[in-house]
């Protein structure tokens, strides 16, 4: 059953409203703006019908508060007369669903409430479906990465650290939070192309021959092929293709340089190398972060985007890098 919050300073109006919604709804009656706000702070409601003209706290203030604390709840304003200014304030500040002028037609108000709640239910269903889809694709990315694990010396903890270094660097570079999180997730796929590299090369304990290097260097574009052409994986394809490019154009597979390498790939390259340096690998001990940063700074401009190296240094200084490393 849906909960309606009815707010009016006139007890007669409040009683009329409560009577007309008694059947089929749980109603909460608030005698004035203060009481309305107190209800909003205490319990979840689905819909609010609020009078505009009330002493101390006006209807638009109550509905603006509702927008802050319970943004999902539908907001309907009752106006005593054509108060254009209050209406404008309400539309702008409280994003109201509808305004109803007093005296109202009960049947019409009832229908408005029914329609509004239908749209609320629909929105909740859509939100749930979207959340499920989002969880499913995130799981699919991780599953694919875990399936590839063992193929390479990389472990899942490497991928999680790269994910979080990437997200932190993207945020530091001014990428918005949703895009940064997406970039982080997609970074986990940077070496997915190694699924196509023969084990004899990937796991060879000795140095690779020139011919073997040629095959090894095919993994960025093999990754692009694996990642298909769904627009959703565009960032993952950029990262796979570009994570061995160098800032000065001396990398592979395309030898592109500077801003021609997508930002996502420039970030992941740095995150990937930083993690490789600072963790144990079969062929090396972990380097202290300071030492890794000194090494990276020597290659700023040649291998790495210097602007991102500066942000990496800052993330080291504020403890973010240590926190991420300790978490995985």
Q: Please give the residue ranges that form the binding site for Fe ion (CB under 5 A).
A: 191, 272
Residue 116 or 309 with smaller CB distance to Fe ion: 309
CA separation for the pair 45, 33 (Å, rounded)? 16
Cis preceding linkage at 253, omega within 30: yes
Catalytic status, residue 314: no
Residue 12, both tokens: 């007669």
**DSSP annotation of 24:** T
Residue 65 or 161 with smaller CB distance to Fe ion: 161
Task: Give the count of beta carbons closer than 10 Å to the beta carbon of residue 106.
Answer: 13
Residue 58 or 163 with smaller CB distance to Fe ion: 163
CA separation for the pair 309, 316 (Å, rounded)? 11
Residue 20, both tokens: 């007309």
* Distant-in-sequence, close-in-space partners of 85: CB < 8 Å, separation ≥ 6: none
Residue 79 or 246 with smaller CB distance to Fe ion: 246
Question: Residues 23, 194, 203, 314: which is the catalytic one?
Answer: 194
Residue 110 near residue 129 (C-beta atoms within 8 A): no
CA separation for the pair 289, 162 (Å, rounded)? 15
Residue 36 or 242 with smaller CB distance to Fe ion: 242
CA separation for the pair 18, 188 (Å, rounded)? 55
Residue 159 or 293 with smaller CB distance to Fe ion: 159
Q: Quick one: how far is CA 57 from the chain centroid?
A: 36
Residue 49 near residue 20 (C-beta atoms within 8 A): no
CA separation (Å) from 154 to 126, 148, 286? 38, 9, 14
Residue 232 near residue 137 (C-beta atoms within 8 A): yes
Which residues form the catalytic set? 194
């Amino acid at each position: 059953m849906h909960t309606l919050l009815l707010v009016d300073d006139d007890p007669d109006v409040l009683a009329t409203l409560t009577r007309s919604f008694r059947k089929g709804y749980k109603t909460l009656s608030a005698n004035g703006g203060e009481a309305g706000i107190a209800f909003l702070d205490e319990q979840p409601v689905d819909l609010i019908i609020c009078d505009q003209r009330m002493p101390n706290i006006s209807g638009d203030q109550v509905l603006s508060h509702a927008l802050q604390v319970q943004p999902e709840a539908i907001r309907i304003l009752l106006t005593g007369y054509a108060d254009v200014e209050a209406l404008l304030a309400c539309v702008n500040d409280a994003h109201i669903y509808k305004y109803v002028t007093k005296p109202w037609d009960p049947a019409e108000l009832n229908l408005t409430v029914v329609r509004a709640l239908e749209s609320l239910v629909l929105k909740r269903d859509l939100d749930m479906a979207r959340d499920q889809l989002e969880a499913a694709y995130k799981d699919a990315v991780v599953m694919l990465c875990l399936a590839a694990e063992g193929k390479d010396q990389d472990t899942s903890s490497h991928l999680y650290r790269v994910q979080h270094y990437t997200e932190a660097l993207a945020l530091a570079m001014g990428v918005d939070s949703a895009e940064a999180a997406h970039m982080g997730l997609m970074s986990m796929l940077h070496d997915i192309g190694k699924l196509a590299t023969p084990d004899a090369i990937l796991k060879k304990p000795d140095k690779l021959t020139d011919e073997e290097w040629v095959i090894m260097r095919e993994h960025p574009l093999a990754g692009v092929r694996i990642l298909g052409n769904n627009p959703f994986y565009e960032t993952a394809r950029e990262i796979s293709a570009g994570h061995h490019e160098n800032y000065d154009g001396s990398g592979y597979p395309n030898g592109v340089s500077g801003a021609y390498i997508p930002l996502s790939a420039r970030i992941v390259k740095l995150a990937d190398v930083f993690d490789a340096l600072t963790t144990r690998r079969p062929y090396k001990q972990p380097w202290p972060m300071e030492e890794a940063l000194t090494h990276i700074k020597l290659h700023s401009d040649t291998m790495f985007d210097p602007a991102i190296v500066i942000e990496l240094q800052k993330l080291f200084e504020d403890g973010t890098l240590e926190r991420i490393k300790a978490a995985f």
